[in-house]
Amino acid sequence: MDTRVAKKKLGLKERYAAMTRGLGWETTYQPMDKVFPYDTYEGIKIHDWDKWQDPFRLTMDAYWKYQGEKEKKLYAVIEAFAQNNGQLGVSDARYINALKLFLQGVTPLEYCAHRGFAHVGRQFTGEGARVAAQMQSIDELRHYQTETHAISHYNKYFNGLHRSHHWFDRVWYLSVPKSFFEDACTAGPFEFLTAVSFSFEYVLTNLLFVPFMSGAAHNGDMSTVTFGFSAQSDESRHMTLGIECIKFMLEQDPGNVPIVQRWIDKWFWRGYRLLTIVAMMQDYMLPKRVMSWKEAWEMYAEGSGGALFKDLARYGIREPRGWKDACEGKDHISHQAWATFYNYGAAAPFHTWIPQDGEMQWLSQKYPESFDKLYRPRFEYWRERADEGRRFYNKTLPMLCTTCQVPMFFTEPGDATKICYRETSYFGNKYHFCSDHCQHIFEDEPEKYVQSWLPVHQIYQGHCFPEGTDPTAEGFDPLTAVLQYYEMNIGRDNFDFEGSEDQKNFAAWTGEKA
Amino acid sequence: MSVVANPAAGVPYQFPMKDVRENFPAPLLYIGWEDHLMFCSPVCVPLPPEMPFGALVSQVLPGIYAEHPDFERIDWNTVQWFKSGKPWTPDPAASLAANGLGHKDVIRFRTPGLSGINGSCS
């Protein structure tokens, strides 16, 4: 029997140190560099990991306790929402399409982030960074699950929610978020944190989360709102990790500054391009609107982001290279993106529609410089056609940007009537881009982006048809074959909202006219 | 430092380019119609290199763009062509290849006097 030795109880600070920093050790069987090969090969120099600040002072046991409590509350609300047929209380069945976009395009990113943070949580030699990354990895897995659960109730009643994970790896528009994260996860650990923790979480996350969650609140979706609340405290921890990581790298060695600057340039732009779908959701998919994309951009990006880059100037960091072009885009990208999904509404597993008169008026007010002049004529003409039973669908596959993989619908800075075309050549092959910034990203690492899985090109290479399809057979219909490969329910998940099963069902359930 | 090209990593980083010509049954051509953004972006189509340029105009473009009310009003004699953004004069009788069009080239056309729905470049 062991003899009991009375141990002095650790103080708060010591306990924290023991439960985080105290978990690491210097390896002896193998050299540290061999065990942790990735935390030096990007060229980032760290002289003293002990300078890493742990802003939240959270240990794993406390983490489990907090998260467990939040979870209990969340699932109680989700359950009550289901019991009370909460789906009937949303503003309009069109709103569900914002949820489809979220479940298809955002939720799988939580899973990617979980994997990414698990990876970097293994690779850093500094224990503070490792613990923070591991906790975030668990957060992201939790978000993936709770979002799936919060939205799964809608899957019983609406189309377009039944196959999101399968779609994420196949459907053309989802290659935009997928390639964003795969680019980050295949980078080194410091670049990953700059990409996800700093550029995405710290600089841009408010532009993703606030619109979706306040949109949910305004449109009567308490299930999703409650998820938002349960994730919010995690998000602030994630943002703090982002800023801590950047400051740490910049303070450790002056040689890190140009490397970090290049990553900030790259990942600000990649994140901004990814947020195009949020801009569109905010301006077009919420029957009850919260604020315009332009207003959100001005508040969260130009306001908070502008102050941030002023603050980082003392380290020799300037605002990201694409900053001005991104600010100019605020008048345009939501309209251009919605018009694109309207063009290709046969091939995406959510519905599109023409804004109603009052909504067009709102758009005119919010976008006095651009909506009436450039975008309203497009929508009104499409409405005329739809009224005549000739709803417009674009039947030819779009040209994509090699870097962001978005169809080439973005316009020239300074001239929103001209598509922005950029191209470069690599070993005799041409590559095309939507902007100077996507071109720069490619030219910095062409070896990486020449491997891009561009959906349009993959379709033309014959890789996106169900197994056993013979594209040379008579009457072969490529679009149908691609949608079968996606495992979309053709006629239920896709096409216009007008005349959809969602529209008819919701009207019948709520006693309104379709 | 770029991760993939860092010599300090000491590992060669060589992977095949996914979109080289050999991977497609026919070369890809990108086509854009200036001032007509009702078609949200330029399009991507595989076309046989031996196809005459005139056939591209008479056979392929209507399938892509005929739904636009401006399309039937186009006077093809006045159309301005651009290749990689630079003014360019194709020979309608010659093939795409003989006109210098290769895999993943991008061409655009401008139709003077026609500027989309109500002049909005839509």
Record: contact B43-A381, CB cut-off 8 A:
no
On whether residue B3 sits in a domain, the answer given is: no
Is residue B1's pLDDT more than 50? no
What's the pLDDT band for A471 if we cut at 50, 70, 90?
confident
Q: Which percentage of chain B shows pLDDT scores above 90?
A: 88
On whether residue B46 sits in a domain, the answer given is: yes
Record: contact A418-B18, CB cut-off 8 A:
no
Record: contact B120-A374, CB cut-off 8 A:
yes
Beta strands in A224-303 (DSSP E): none
Whole-angstrom distance, CA of residue B88 vs CA of residue B83? 6
Structure confidence by residue, pLDDT tens digits, A236-276: 889 989 999 999 999 999 999 999 999 999 999 999 999 99
On whether residue B84 sits in a domain, the answer given is: yes
Instruction: Walk me through the domains of chain A, giving residue ranges and CATH numbers.
Output: 49-510 (1.10.620.20)
Give the pLDDT mean for A202-208.
Answer: 86
Q: Look up the domain containing B77 and give its range.
A: 42-122
Other residues' Cβ atoms within 10 Å of the Cβ of residue A505: 15
ipTM exceeding 0.85?
Answer: yes
Other residues' Cβ atoms within 10 Å of the Cβ of residue A111: 19
On whether residue B99 sits in a domain, the answer given is: yes
CA of A26 vs chain B CAs: smallest distance (Å) = 23
Whole-angstrom distance, CA of residue A24 vs CA of residue A37? 16
- For residue A444, list chain B residues with Cβ-Cβ distance below 8 A: 2
- For residue B23, list chain A residues with Cβ-Cβ distance below 8 A: 461
What's the pLDDT band for A13 if we cut at 50, 70, 90?
confident
On whether residue B19 sits in a domain, the answer given is: no
- Closest CA relative to residue A376, chosen from A391, A362, A388, A386: A362
- Closest CA relative to residue A188, chosen from A141, A256, A131: A256
- A472: closest chain B residue by CA: B25
Interchain contact A370–B (C-beta under 8 A): no
The amino acid present at A403, given as its one-letter code, is T
**Do residues B41 and A419 lie in contact, with contact meaning Cβ atoms separated by under 8 Å?**
yes
Which residues of chain B from 1 to 40 reach within 8 Å of chain A, CB to CB?
Answer: 1-6, 8-9, 13-20, 23-25, 28, 30, 32, 34-35, 37-40
Supply the CATH number for residue B47's domain.
3.10.20.560
- Closest CA relative to residue A94, chosen from A373, A338, A294: A338
On whether residue B26 sits in a domain, the answer given is: no
- A408: closest chain B residue by CA: B41
- For residue B15, list chain A residues with Cβ-Cβ distance below 8 A: 447, 450-451
Phi then psi for residue A465, to 5 deg, are -120, 155
**Do residues B46 and A459 lie in contact, with contact meaning Cβ atoms separated by under 8 Å?**
no
- pLDDT computed for residue B6 by the predictor: 60
- For residue A397, list chain B residues with Cβ-Cβ distance below 8 A: 43-45
CA of A97 vs chain B CAs: smallest distance (Å) = 21
On whether residue B27 sits in a domain, the answer given is: no
- For residue B105, list chain A residues with Cβ-Cβ distance below 8 A: 430
Number of domains in chain B: 1
* Residue whose structure tokens are 């009567």: A220
Structure confidence by residue, pLDDT tens digits, B67-104: 999 999 999 999 999 999 999 999 999 999 999 999 99
Which sign, positive or negative, has the C-alpha torsion A67, A70, A72, A78? Answer: negative
On whether residue B18 sits in a domain, the answer given is: no
Is residue A488's pLDDT more than 90? yes
Residue count of chain B, please give it: 122
Structure confidence by residue, pLDDT tens digits, A409-451: 999 999 999 999 999 999 999 999 999 999 999 999 999 999 9
Whole-angstrom distance, CA of residue A459 vs CA of residue A481? 10
